[in-house]
Amino acid sequence: MNNKKQNILIIGAGLCGSLLALRLGQRGYNVTVYEMRPDLRRTDISAGRSINLAFSDRGNKAIKLVGLEQKVKELCIPMNGRMIHDKEGNTFLSNYSGRDYEYINSISRGELNSLLLTEAEKHDNVTIHFNKKCKSVDFENTTAHFQDYTTKDEFIEDADAIIATDGAGSALRKSYYLGKKFLFSFSQNYLTHGYKELSILPTENGDYKTYKNALHIWPRGDFMVIALPNLDGSFTVTLFLSFAEGEYNFNNLTTPEIVTEFFTKEFPDALELMPNLVEDFFENPTAPLGTVKCSPWHYKGNTLLMGDSAHAIVPFYGQGMNASFEDVVEFDQVLDTHKDADWDTIFTTYEKTRKKDTDAIADLAIDNFHEMKDHVGQAIFQEKRKIEMALEKEFPEDYSSKYSLVTFNENIGYREAMLRGRAQDKAILNMLADGVISIADDLKDILDKVKTETEAILEDDKIAGLS
């Protein structure tokens, strides 16, 4: 496959598809991209999709790969930690890491996507078409069936290989499922909770109404509100709440009065920042939160799922975009190490190395749902975080919390981060519960005990065949 003039068809020009188009364009392939939506550089199509996202080291590794680190940095607002708001309006900042240089970023989905599209189109060998919806993929013949939204015309495109980056509702994945030509393992799992976007607008002077450089959380056990800053001084706010359970839920928040009552009771300091609450609440849709896993991602050397189409996850680890960007990095590495291989070998190798990690981040994201809405408000978890912050600060080379392993250690796969991170959490929580360690102890002692206990936990699981 030395012939770089091969034709690659990419379905979907969202974050993953536009980055992939750019990278494959840089590598010399003939890349054609079809996107169902209009060009977001010319039309406002934010409705229904989250406006801002958390961007961190795994995503940045991909951005470095395509040479856009500086341009992307200009779009970023650093968030150093979680600003936790209790019911009385008290706040405290819980840093994401004990190392000052480790933080996550709030970034606008639209701005980032626009940049990637523009950079991809700078390559003569990359063409992007908008308003063309993929209806199905004939994976036996490597062709895709599209409809033009404007003219309603339908047409078929073929290619040497088709890569679908068309998100959680992927047309290719649906064709795999409905085709029944091979054993296709597939799962869609919804949380009992949904979400709704709200907003904190800037002050009249365009300033931020609350602390800018944090991800704000109002954890309430069974539900929560979060807020991420935007460059224009506003915050995008998201309410995560059960559809049907609890005293207040999406099914019964049906009038302005009851919505206001709910926020007055549970989030009084947030309500003060949101005079526009009721309008937002009834204008914006309530959306479900789902996880999609499937296997195989590829059919022979013909077609491949990448990004959310292969592994849609819930947003609670801030890793959805980062995982999709990391897909492109991993795929690029397989292209490097398999220069003369056919697409079947490349797709097989990519899936084999990648799937265990995307399965892991899907599970971690669900864990973090419970951590954010509930655990962050509990004393023992707060004590654990304090110890971990201190360890990371004092021994920056020797300790990384689960959060750091997942978020700031882009050279460790998600699965390894999950296994080690969970074992560390278990070690610290149990040693705290048993009085074996306390925050007042010598830090070096704590570090040694945590390391020893973590290894013991990993070893015990291994002997029992659990990892």
Which positions lie near a second copy, rule CB under 8 A?
Answer: 183-190, 243, 288, 290, 293, 370, 375, 422, 425-426, 429-430, 433, 460-461, 463-466
Least separation in angstroms between residue 359's CB and a second copy is 12
How many Cα atoms are found within 13 Å in the side-chain-facing hemisphere of 348?
Answer: 8
Nearer to a second copy, 30 or 175 (CB): 175
User: Which among 30, 205, 42, 193 has a CA at the least distance from the CA of 113?
Assistant: 42
Nearer to a second copy, 106 or 348 (CB): 348
Nearer to a second copy, 430 or 452 (CB): 430
Least separation in angstroms between residue 368's CB and a second copy is 12
Nearer to a second copy, 147 or 242 (CB): 242
User: Which among 295, 296, 293, 304 has a CA at the least distance from the CA of 346?
Assistant: 304
Nearer to a second copy, 184 or 395 (CB): 184
Nearer to a second copy, 211 or 250 (CB): 250
Any alpha helices (H) in 306-413, and if so which ranges? 320-337, 343-373, 379-394, 402-407
Nearer to a second copy, 177 or 282 (CB): 177
Cα–Cα distance, 83 to 79 (Å, whole number): 10
Nearer to a second copy, 220 or 293 (CB): 293
The token duo for 385 is 């975080």
C-beta of residue 139 within 8 angstroms of C-beta of residue 179: yes
C-beta of residue 37 within 8 angstroms of C-beta of residue 131: yes
The token duo for 421 is 């991170």
Nearer to a second copy, 321 or 457 (CB): 457
Least separation in angstroms between residue 367's CB and a second copy is 8
Least separation in angstroms between residue 90's CB and a second copy is 25
Using DSSP's 3-state secondary structure scheme, residue 124 falls into coil
Least separation in angstroms between residue 467's CB and a second copy is 11
The token duo for 426 is 């278990």
Beta-strand relationship, 161-164 and 7-11: parallel
List CB contacts of 101: < 8 A, sequence separation 6 or more: none
Beta-strand relationship, 143-148 and 154-158: antiparallel
Cα–Cα distance, 437 to 429 (Å, whole number): 9
C-beta of residue 292 within 8 angstroms of C-beta of residue 312: yes
Using DSSP's 3-state secondary structure scheme, residue 265 falls into helix
Least separation in angstroms between residue 343's CB and a second copy is 18
Beta-strand relationship, 286-295 and 215-219: unpaired
Compute the 3-state secondary structure of the chain and give helix, strand, coil in percent, each to the nearest 5: 40, 25, 35
Least separation in angstroms between residue 115's CB and a second copy is 34
What residues are paired with 106 via a beta bridge? 54, 77
Nearer to a second copy, 48 or 465 (CB): 465
User: Helices 343-373 and 320-337, interaxial angle, to 10°?
Assistant: 160
Cα–Cα distance, 295 to 297 (Å, whole number): 5
